[in-house]
Amino acid sequence: MATTTVPAARAGRVLRLLASLEQIILCLLLLAMIGLSCLQIALRSFFSSGLLWADPLIQQLVLWSGLLGASMATARGKHIALDLVAYLVPAKFHPLILALTHLFSTLTVAALAYAASLFLANEVTYGSPGLFSLPSWTWNLIFPLSFALITIRSGIAFVRESRNVFRRQPEEQR
């Protein structure tokens, strides 16, 4: 029994560390977006000019924060969900439906992660210079990264809910 709990505890620690790292990165991205936006407003208002690179950078920061935020929302179970089926199906089937929903989400986001990795591979091969003369693929790295994180988290939620489905059935039959 101890051999199954030690890897689970380590995995839990890794996931908590990852969530903390994501939170720090999101805070830094938000701080940078707000700072650059305020600077742009001040420069445009008082000096009739601005930083040419600030608007494209803010766009990239919004993209990165949105995708990392989606990953964090998935980790916390706060992502967008439609639970219409929960109103139409008896309560005893809700755990099964939740598990199937997580499975569908996992498979869908895994397909997106695969497509994003193909996109990134094409960007590495054929891409052009991007903002600050960095290769365009560096700015697009967030796509496969975030979709992979969401896939992992949806998969974890599927496994967790699948266990709940099988745990609840024997208790309900008694």
Token pair recorded at residue 90: 């008896």
CB 48 within 8 A of CB 97: no
Torsion angle, CA of 7/11/13/17, rounded to 10 degrees?
150
> Helices 142-173 & 54-76, crossing angle to 10 degrees?
10
pLDDT at 167 (0 to 100): 76
pLDDT at 149 (0 to 100): 95
pLDDT at 84 (0 to 100): 73
Helices and strands (H and E) in the chain: how many: 6, 0
Domain extents in the chain: 1-77, 81-174
**Residue bearing tokens 């693929």:** 137
Q: Report the b/e string of 19-46 with b at 16+ CB within 10 A.
A: eeebeeebeebeeebeebeeebeeeeee
pLDDT at 151 (0 to 100): 97
Among 32-36, 37-41, 102-106, 166-170, name the one with the lowest average pLDDT.
166-170
For the stretch 79-133, pLDDT in tens is: 877 677 778 888 888 888 889 999 999 999 999 999 999 999 999 999 899 999 9
d(CA 56, CA 45): 19
d(CA 138, CA 151): 21
pLDDT at 174 (0 to 100): 42
**What is the rounded radius of gyration, in angstroms, for the C-alpha atoms of the chain?**
21
For the stretch 120-173, pLDDT in tens is: 999 999 989 999 999 999 999 999 999 999 999 999 999 999 988 877 554 444
Torsion angle, CA of 41/138/18/21, rounded to 10 degrees?
-30
